Amino acid sequence: MKLVTAIIKPFKLDDVREALSGVGVQGVTVSEVKGFGRQKGHTELYRGAEYVVDFLPKVKLEIAIPSDRIEAVIEAITGAANTGKIGDGKIFVSALEQVVRIRTGETGEEAI
């Protein structure tokens, strides 16, 4: 089992959700987060004063999936979230040792 964590631009969330549904993903956890990468934020003008926005708004997706479906999920996210511009985001894949469904007590892939 794998845990896929993706950081994407907020306006791409609906496209990514549809793409994930298309490859059979049944559950996604979404969080609104802030951060920066190579772009290091940007400057904006407000009432004549220039100020720096250090942390940009992003959306963090967390998806628990069976190991054999990892490539399809990565392709779905990259295809739907790609704008070709800096700040499109990142995908992190980590091993998931154990999953337990609290209501039924199911464990492993059955709990996903």
Which percentage of the chain shows pLDDT scores above 70?
A: 90
Query: What is the per-residue pLDDT for 62?
Result: 98
Residue 107 per-residue DSSP state: B
Q: What is the pLDDT of residues 47-89, one digit of tens each?
A: 777 667 778 889 999 999 999 999 999 999 999 999 998 889 9
Domain count, the chain: 1
Task: Give residue 39's pLDDT.
Answer: 66
Alpha-helical segments (H) within the chain:
13-22, 70-81
Q: Could you tell me the pTM of the whole model?
A: 0.85
Task: Indicate whether 42 pLDDT > 80.
Answer: no
What is the distance between the alpha carbons of residues 52 and 10, in angstroms, rounded to a whole number? 20
Indicate the average pLDDT of the chain.
90
Work out whether the CA dihedral 108, 6, 57, 39 comes out positive or negative: positive
The CATH number that applies at residue 99 is 3.30.70.120
Q: How far is CA 5 from each of CA 48, 63, 77, rounded to the nearest angstrom?
A: 39, 7, 10
- Determine the Cα angle at 24 with ends 22 and 28, to 5°: 95
Read off the tokens for 72.
Answer: 């399809």
In terms of residue numbers, what domain contains 58? 2-111
pLDDT of 112 reads 87
| 86 or 25, greater pLDDT | 25
Whether the per-residue pLDDT at 13 is higher than 90: the answer is yes
